[in-house]
Amino acid sequence: ILFGDDTAYGAGWNGDLGTATKNVIYDIIKSITDRLDAHGI
């Protein structure tokens, strides 16, 4: 079992080789799609 860091994505991840959790990946994708929706894209 892999345990990942659930820290919000940011500049602090630069060079970090840790595993992202499903929650973090979901949050990133959700943030991107929300921004696209807000701009009508």
- pTM of the predicted model, to two decimals? 0.55
pLDDT of amino acid 7: 65
pLDDT of amino acid 10: 66
pLDDT of amino acid 32: 93
CB atoms within 10 A of CB 20: 17
Q: How many residues does the chain have?
A: 41
SS3 state of residue 23 = helix
Neighbouring-strand partners of residue 20:
5
The tens place of each residue's pLDDT in the chain, 41 residues long, gives 566 666 666 666 666 667 777 888 888 899 999 999 999 98
pLDDT of amino acid 36: 95
pLDDT of amino acid 24: 80
